[in-house]
Amino acid sequence: MTKIKEQSTWNENKGISEMHCPITYVMNKIGGHWKSIILYYLMNGPRRYNELKKAIPAITEKMLVQHLKQLAADNLITRKVEQVMPPITIYSLTPSGNDLIPVLLAMADWALKDSDQFENLKVNMSEVSTVS
């Protein structure tokens, strides 16, 4: 990922926009194609790196690692390494990440209502929302 100069006009405008708009703040944290998907798969509990990779087969290793680091830096997930052979890395939501569960469920609920392609998921989503 290309680094953006801290004093660039784009970075300055982004910071100003974030100060005045809560949606911009949220999108800076969970925006993009993969972050909300990763958070969605962590809603039901901790997952190992390989479990996340299998759950999201379209994501590249580079993008998964990059977004996991960003989500951890934004205090939305935690990363725990268990020192066994081989080491196991487990990711889970922080309290701040858990606060996003209603937002993620609302996004999923909207998709279910908006598109017929998710008919088979409607039963599963009702089970998830009753667990939370």
Residue 52: which CATH number? 1.10.10.10
Q: How many domains does the chain have?
A: 1
pLDDT band, residue 4 (cuts 50/70/90): low
Residue 93 lies in a domain: yes
- Cβ neighbours around 90 below 10 Å, total: 15
The pTM of this model reads 0.75
- Give the C-alpha separation, 61 to 83, whole Å: 22
pLDDT band, residue 1 (cuts 50/70/90): very low
Residue 60 lies in a domain: yes
User: pLDDT tens-digit profile of 68-115?
Assistant: 999 999 999 999 998 888 889 999 999 999 999 999 999 988 888 888
Q: Does 14 have pLDDT greater than 80? A: no
Whether the Cβ atoms of residue 30 and residue 76 lie closer than 8 Å to each other: yes
- Give the C-alpha separation, 125 to 105, whole Å: 8
